[in-house]
């Protein structure tokens, strides 16, 4: 998610080490890999990966948008509580259901 900010940002690269070169890794999906969460650092500041998976992992793939909004709102609310309403970082959630939870059947055809 940070990559789009870096395109052409020579000062960001020189001053902060920000790069538009993506870090790529591959993972073979197993039967327990039900969801893919791509979230900005504003989500991860006060929500652990396990908490996020617990929040979204049991929901229906047909409710993906609503579920992503719930996770984003929880992150926002925690920023408000922890920072006293003074600051909230960017909060972005992209949620993809890879398999129906508990069935192993693909959600995306």
Whether the Cβ atoms of residue 43 and residue 92 lie closer than 8 Å to each other: yes
Instruction: Return the pLDDT at 52.
Output: 96
Residue 18: how many CB atoms within 10 A of its CB? 15
Q: Which pLDDT score, from 0 to 100, does residue 80 have?
A: 94
Give residue 85's pLDDT.
86
The Cβ-side half-sphere exposure at 28, using a 13 Å CA radius, reads: 0
Residue 92 near residue 77 (C-beta atoms within 8 A)? no
**What is the model's pLDDT at position 88?**
87
- Give the pLDDT of the chain (109 residues) as one tens digit per residue: 455 555 556 666 677 666 667 778 998 988 888 899 999 888 999 999 999 999 998 899 999 999 999 999 999 999 999 999 888 888 999 999 987 655 556 665 4
Burial class (CB in 10 A: 0-12, 13-18, 19+), 31: exposed
């Amino acid at each position: 998610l940070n990559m789009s900010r870096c395109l052409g940002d020579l000062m960001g690269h020189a001053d902060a080490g920000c790069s538009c070169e993506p870090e790529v890794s591959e993972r073979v999906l197993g039967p327990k890999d039900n969801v893919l969460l791509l979230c900005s650092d504003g989500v991860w500041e006060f929500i652990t990966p396990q908490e996020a998976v617990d929040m979204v992992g049991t929901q229906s793939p047909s409710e993906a948008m609503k579920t992503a909004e719930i996770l984003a709102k929880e992150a926002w609310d925690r920023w408000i509580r922890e920072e006293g309403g003074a600051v909230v970082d960017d909060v972005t959630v992209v949620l993809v259901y890879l398999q129906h939870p508990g069935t192993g059947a693909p959600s995306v055809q």
